[in-house]
Structure 1
């Protein structure tokens, strides 16, 4: 790993080449900074230069505070990731004094009063947080095309979706603005954009990362972590934030050792069950089918025991039941906002799909909510039994490669569910059951679009996933595959 090449800029100043910055992941950058081969200030300026070069084309970053970040980068910092530039999603990871819109006009003037615990943990790890990334309104879509901030574009093809809801974070990492960025996942919102943008994205076990000060992270369906280019960055970031907060309603089994250490451990011969199903709707595209088959063959070649399986019966009922839970949380959030405003939520306050969901939520009762949770939890037990027989389950992350912008966003409220299920049929179920799941960029279409494959382990099984992911990263490396966007800051040719 080489240090940065410096070149003169203005009198008394130097800058580092962006190509050098792009070569390193977060762990690598932290090592260079710790050895004083480059300064945190220089690394931040490289990130800012990259932001200026590519963000106008992709609209991944929607807010920055460069003055504060430069002041932080100029100070001596401790922590395993000291001096590494970082971005957070404009949702849940509140930064004190920064706006926190959640992608919605309804909150566009809100300012966070304090750092969320996860942001405090990132700061203790030494990360230099300099901006926030785009997301769909309230994080409720599989594509990042909000009215408030406009669409985020996929660096691999700027006419296609970067996925959602953490699409801004994924696009920023794929385009090289940062090596890793905060993300969250309530139905696939880490894994969907990771697949769309050719990145590594792990949704942790329920309760692994606190959602404090929020109550329960959407009944435990939601999870916070990150989207990264390298496996070890994901592990290091999870190590930094996986301590529970007082009063958390869920907790994951404690880790045996730091997750970063797991990346260097042999996974052994794993029992792998694979499926080519599209769980919620339709069938997988040929590209996604091929990705699963290719990965199953790769796993067998690495010595793992691989066999085809089916998921437990009852999946459709669990997915249908989860609608009442989601509706209850949408209604609770918007009703609370109405109380703050002192008036009802108007149709013009939110996007049409959000308002339709809000109105639909009024048809559910408290009994519906509780009974639905019981159905979901029963399916979680069935999934746990499957993962007691297999170390990991392999499936496609998505139903297809990234679709053009407007395909998901343009669906009418009545047809939106069908369109989205066809695109993201395989991610939501593991939010309901709580197991850790990761999307790994192991396949590509003939025209160069990334296709992720998904691996799931038993509750608390992140260690197995990190060991396997590191093995796959070595066997079929993806870090060298980058979109052509931004060689000069312009669109891909």
Structure 2
């Protein structure tokens, strides 16, 4: 999209081998021989090309395989997809969204990439993310942003913005995403998708996270249907299951059990949600009550200093990347990192002495969070305190003091689940913004409660099917 083009709705749905299938439906069509995996890969690549000039979602195009050999029996055998560009994929460079170094081709697949590939997917390339995944929007100082296919004048969210834009636009049915503070759930909310951040340890961990004092990151996907997310988790468990967590298996629909669900409209750190966001939550409360669940207001007892502590830890991550950046590329220069990364790093250096106390308090957050769940099965809240902003509002070119204030009043709900390690799923609410942009709500649970989350998400989807761009 150029400066002279009007914002628009962009999608790639057409009468080809992908049709209107989600990933489960497309894999079934391939298994039945109705379409071939090579034909599907070619048509997906054509769809990507059709929307990429407007969305800017792709970081690296891989080769479209002439004769894909999907893993027999894989849940997504032959389904085309993309891997987020902070995860190594053999032969493709990993750039982490940064202009501070020249990325080099990966020599091997990352552990999660191997787990993802075990489902049978065909990887067509890598999707864009903001620098090091730090931002809730996929924007840059000196490059075109990733744009929201529902309205290209708005953000696609972050940090898995490229993946979300491609899936929402219908270019591919699913795409890899990961979440260290909301980076699956935020772009899912912005783009009208399903995005589940699994329990810490539900899928294989990446090597970098294991070295940190507090592992915030979980990998997963963004999808257009609940059943695709459920099928992904079942397939991931077939490859590797964490014996410390209850087995999940394949969740195939709503449950008949009635749950006690808490809800909150304003964030634990005191940020008040905007009217459209509050309305989306209250509409979802009414739906859950009509479906037979008991829903009641709740106020999680999160420490008032949680936001400052999370910001300090966030800054520590930026500082560590500045110190260890040469492991990414020999020409790494932290002076070339963007304004958000620099601001986080510089702020941390002023407060680094707080680090031991910050780590202790963040580790203790699980106690307050568990207390909030007493007598409850799940908690419902907004994904974000504000509806999806226009491009530029959260750009890393915005002066850091203004930018960080905007981010903290926008991303006010999702980080708690990353610190505690609990699962959380974003689904589209029934309502939308005045511009037609989706609004997301999240349902969060105790560690290992993905089944309950998926069952509730299935019920919401069945009650009022999620809007699709192709239907506008």
TM-score, normalised to structure 2's length? 0.91
Alignment partner for residue 438 of structure 2, among 450, 464, 485? 450
Number of residues paired by the alignment?
A: 457
Which of 355, 361, 381 pairs up with 1:369? 355
Asked whether the 8 Å contact 1:18–1:46 carries over to 2, the reply is: no
1:70 counterpart (61, 66, 71): 66
Q: Which of 408, 413, 434 lines up with 1:426 in the alignment?
A: 413
Rounded to whole Å, the distance in 1 between the matches of 2:243 and 2:140 is 33
1:87 counterpart residue number: 82
Which one is further off, 147-156 or 456-465? 147-156
Q: Which residue number in structure 1 is paired with residue 366 of structure 2?
A: 380
> CA 1:441–1:20 in 2, change beyond 3 Å: closer, same or farther?
farther
Query: In the alignment, is residue 396 of structure 1 matched against residue 382 of structure 2?
Result: yes
CA spacing shift, 1:148–1:211, aligned 2, 3 Å: farther
Task: Name the stretch that deviates more: 152-161 or 415-424.
Answer: 415-424
- How has the CA–CA distance of structure 1 residues 255 and 354 changed in structure 2, closer, same or farther, with 3 Å as cutoff? same
**1:187 equivalent in alignment to 2:174:** no
Q: Is the 8 A contact 2:70 2:77 kept in 1?
A: no
Structure 1, residues 308-359: CA drift from partner, whole Å, max 9, x if none?
1111141x32222122322222222221124776788442x21122122223
Q: CA RMSD in A?
A: 2.4
Query: Relative to structure 2, which stretch is displaced further, 401-410 or 167-176?
Result: 401-410
How far off its partner does 1:452 sit?
Answer: 0.5
Contact 2:70 2:122 in 1 (8 A): no
Change (3 A) 1:445 1:267: farther
- In the alignment, is the contact (CA less than 8 A) between 1:187 and 1:221 conserved in 2? yes
Matching residue of 2:116: 122
* Inter-partner Cα distance in structure 2 for 1:381 and 1:163: 30
Cα deviation for residue 53 of structure 1 reads: 1.0
Structure 1 residue 438 corresponds to structure 2 residue 425: yes
Q: Say if 2:458 is the partner of 1:470.
A: yes
**Alignment TM-score, normalising by the size of structure 1:** 0.87
Residue 262 of structure 2, aligned match among 270, 273, 280: 273
Match of 1:23? 20
- Which residue in the other structure is 1:8 paired with? none
Alpha-carbon spacing, 1:76–1:383, altered in 2? closer, same or farther (3 Å): closer
Instruction: Report the counterpart of residue 233 of structure 1 in structure 2.
Output: 228
State the secondary structure of the residue aligned to 1:105. Answer: coil
- Partners in 2 of 1:483 and 1:35 — Cα distance? 26
Q: Which runs of no fewer than 5 residues in structure 2 stay unpaired?
A: 1-12
Question: Any idea what the Cα deviations from partners look like across 1:367-414, whole Å, max 9, x if unmatched?
Answer: 633321210121211111222421110111111221100001143111
* Alignment correspondent of 1:133: 127
Instruction: Find runs of 4+ consecutive structure 1 residues off by over 6 angstroms.
Output: 243-246, 339-344
SS at match of 2:469: coil
From 274, 283, 301, the equivalent of 2:290 is 301
Query: Alpha-carbon deviations, 1:33-56, whole Å to 9, x = none?
Result: 111111111111221111111111
SS of residue paired to 2:38: helix
